[in-house]
Amino acid sequence: MLKMNRRRLLAAALAGTGAQAAWPVVARDERIVIGQSAPLTGPVAGAFKGVLAGEKMAFDQVNRKGGINGRPVDLVLLDDAYDTRRTVDNVNTLIERDKVVALTGLGSTAGVGAALPILLEKKVPLVGVYTGAPILRARHHPYFFTTQASFKDEVFYSVRNLVTLRSTRIGVVYQNNEFGKLMLPVVEQAIKEQGATLVGAAPIAIDGSDAVAAAQALAAKQPQAVLLIAVGPSVVGYVKANRSYLGVPIYTISTAIGALPALGDDARGVAITQVVPYPWRQTTPLAREFAQECEIARQPIAYDTYGGYLLARFLLDALRRCGKSVSSEALVRAIEGRQSWDYGGINLSFSPTNHHGTSFVETTIVGPRMSFMR
């Protein structure tokens, strides 16, 4: 059984550049194959429905219009149930069986950390993930690209806002898994550097079953605000418990977005950092196309759906820039060779030494009927 502790995750994320494996072959059968491992089932499956729907819209759109340089693009999606071992198995299967040109949209911090050494050995790029864990970006990895700000960027942005509002006594609720435990020191650093005070920190189970206990523990510390680092059902459980036992503002990061619909009116007032542009302001070509695709797919316009759509569109644009010879090597060079990529109104910038394209963050407040106020 694969055991992922912090040391192994760090080693994976900081893997060197010495692998000598040959580049994977050009996409087979004239079809360009992209692979993804994501939690279609398991404790956080609901949080990924939006991004997966957005990705599908982008792939459907490009194939409806003739594919990439006349070649259809297939997305092979495998379920990992948010389990690190299954993520590793899926990544190996996608590379060895499906001969993917690239991977995209992996969803867990531990899963990405475990996959990075495989990418290094096989020389297959991973373009875009749904985790912003800073540890995964600690050192340059030649086949790993991100298209969204890191969780560190989000946390520092939230803490700065709280300090500006004179809410300097901050409590923290963090998910009791690898993701949350790795983020806790980042939160502590942000609070210290911004001159605020961490009055208490409470872990919360991924299913939210101990949300009341977490809220009660923090209530005794009398924070002025709570910073919530969680995803999936734990978000729902804690927000409700916070209303009952604390009644102080909640600031959370973009991982919580998929859980908000389950909260209904209880989500009102939650402050959440966003790492993709505001999707309802259709002032860019990508935003207008996204709105049109939402109509075709009968999907509501939403932040998470837009995030999935933008990631897929970026990858598809990079594949197009490979020309007729689409390969893993050509894709890496196409991304590194262009310093300005439109990402729905924000700019992504990459180079051979910089694979993390943006630090864009803004805060929104959840309003009535799941509206977002900037």
How do residues 166-225 score in pLDDT, each as one tens digit?
999 999 999 999 999 999 999 999 999 999 999 999 999 999 999 999 999 999 999 999
CB 179 within 8 A of CB 232: no
For residue 374, pLDDT beyond 80 = yes
Give, to the nearest 10 degrees, the angle between helix 84-96 and helix 109-122.
Answer: 30
Average pLDDT estimate for 2-14:
44
Q: In this structure, what token pair is assigned to residue 132? A: 């912003």
Tell which CATH architecture fits domain 151-274: 3-Layer(aba) Sandwich (3.40)
Task: Tell me what pLDDT residue 6 has.
Answer: 44
State mean pLDDT over 115-126.
98
Q: Using only C-alpha atoms, what is the Rg of the chain?
A: 20
Handedness of CA 37, 41, 45, 46 (dihedral sign): positive
pLDDT at 1 over 50: no
Whether pLDDT at 26 is above 50? no
Average pLDDT over the chain reads 92
Give the strands of the sheet with 225-229, arranged side by side: 197-204, 169-175, 225-229, 250-252, 271-274, 362-366, 372-373
Q: Across the strands, what pairs with 119?
A: none
Within this chain, domains 6-149+282-359 and 151-274 share the same CATH topology? yes
pLDDT surpassing 90 at residue 327? yes
- CATH number for 6-149+282-359 (one of 3.40.50.2300, 2.40.30.10, 3.30.1330.60, 3.60.20.10): it is 3.40.50.2300
Per-residue pLDDT for 291 more than 80?
yes
Is the Cα dihedral 184, 187, 189, 191 positive or negative? negative
Domain-wise residue ranges, the chain: 6-149+282-359, 151-274
